Amino acid sequence: MIDVVSIKFKSCGKVYYFDPNGTDPKEGDRVVVETANGRELAFCSQGVHAVADDRVVPPLQPVLRVATAADLRIAEQNKAREAEAFTICKKKIADHGLEMKLVDVECSFDGNKITFFFTSDGRVDFRELVKDLASVFRSRIELRQIGVRDEAKMLGGLGICGRPFCCSQFLNEFYPVSTKMAKVQNMSLNPKKISGCCGRLMCCLRYEQEAYEDLVKTVPKNGAFVETPDGYGNITQVNLLRQTVKVRLDGENDQRNYTAKQVAAVPGGRPKDGEAPARVLNYVPEDEPVEEVVDEWEVSLLEDYEDLDKKRERREMLAAAEKAEQEARANYENQRRNKNRNNRNRNNRRPNVNAQQGEGKQTEQQAEKNPQQLKVVKPNNQAGQNKQVRSKAPVKKPQAKPVADKAQVKPEGEASEKKPNRNNRRRRPNNRPKVEKKPTNE
- 227 neighbors 266 (Cβ within 8 angstroms): yes
> How open is the CA angle 196-201-207, to the nearest 5 degrees?
100
pLDDT of 9 reads 86
Count of CB atoms within 10 A of residue 372's CB?
Answer: 11
Determine the pLDDT at residue 347. 76
For residue 263, which of 223, 222, 219 has the smallest C-alpha distance? 219
Higher-confidence residue of 20 and 386: namely: 20
Residue pair 113/140 in contact (Cβ under 8 Å)? The answer is yes
Q: How large is the average pLDDT for residues 352-368? A: 54
Closest CA to 116 of 136, 144, 139, 154: 144
Closest CA to 108 of 57, 42, 15: 42
Rounded Cα distance, 209 and 204, in Å? 9
Task: Tell me which of 357 and 104 has the higher pLDDT.
Answer: 104
Strand partners, 31: 42, 66
Strand partners, 106: 115
Rounded Cα gap, residues 388 and 99, in angstroms: 128
Q: What does the alpha-carbon distance between residue 13 and residue 106 come to, in Å, rounded to a whole number?
A: 14
113: CB partners within 8 A, 6+ apart = 37, 38, 107, 139, 140, 141, 142
Buried b (16+ CB within 10 A) or exposed e, 334-368: eeeeeeeeeeeeeeeeeeeeeeeeeeeeeeeeeee
Residue 415 has pLDDT above 50, yes or no: no
pLDDT at 392: 47
For residue 294, the model assigns a pLDDT of: 53
Residue 235: which pLDDT band, with cuts at 50, 70 and 90? very high
Residue type, 319: A
d(CA 256, CA 249): 8
With cut-offs at 50, 70 and 90, classify the pLDDT of residue 432.
low
Distant-in-sequence, close-in-space partners of 294: CB < 8 Å, separation ≥ 6: none
Helix and strand totals (H; E) in the chain: 9, 13
- Is the pLDDT confidence value at 378 over 60? no
pTM over 0.75: no
Ramachandran quadrant class, 355 (left: phi over 0; alpha: psi -120 to 50; beta: rest): alpha
Q: Alpha-carbon torsion 89, 94, 98, 100, what sign?
A: positive
Q: Kindly tell me if the per-residue pLDDT of 389 is higher than 80.
A: no
Please give the angle made by the CA atoms of 105, 106 and 110, to the nearest 5 degrees: 145
Once rounded to an integer, what is the mean pLDDT over residues 338-345?
Answer: 83
pLDDT at 425 over 60: no
pLDDT tens per residue across span 30-75? 999 988 888 899 999 888 889 888 888 888 899 999 999 999 999 9
- Which of 9-13, 59-63, 300-304 is predicted with the least confidence, judged by mean pLDDT? 300-304
Predicted pLDDT at 429: 53
The candidate with the shortest Cα–Cα distance to 16, out of 1, 109, 34, 114, is 34
- Does residue 155 surpass a pLDDT of 80? yes
**Packed helices 69-96 and 127-137: angle between N→C axes, nearest 10 degrees:** 140
Phi, psi of 94 (to 5 degrees): -65, -35
DSSP sequence for 371-440: TTT----PPPGGGT-------PPPP-PPPPPPPPPTTPPPPTTPPP-PPPPHHHHHHSGGGPPPPPPPPP
pLDDT of res. 56 = 86
Which residues are CB-neighbours of 220 under 8 A, at least 6 positions away?
226, 235, 238, 245, 263, 264, 265
The larger pLDDT score, comparing residue 244 to residue 406, is at 244
- Cα separation, 201 vs 14, in Å, equals 22
Q: For the chain, what percent of residues have pLDDT higher than 90?
A: 22
d(CA 317, CA 58): 77
Rounded Cα distance, 263 and 248, in Å:
12
- C-alpha 184/C-alpha 7 separation (Å) is 38
Q: How far apart are the first and last CA of the chain?
A: 163
| Helix, strand or coil, per DSSP, at residue 45 | strand
pLDDT at residue number 251: 84
Mean pLDDT of the chain: 79
Q: What is the mean pLDDT of residues 222-241?
A: 90
Percentage of residues in the chain having pLDDT higher than 70: 74
State the pLDDT at residue 384.
Answer: 44
Q: What is the predicted pLDDT for the residue at 103?
A: 93
* pLDDT for 260 beyond 60: yes
Cα–Cα distance between 140 and 112 in angstroms, integer? Answer: 6
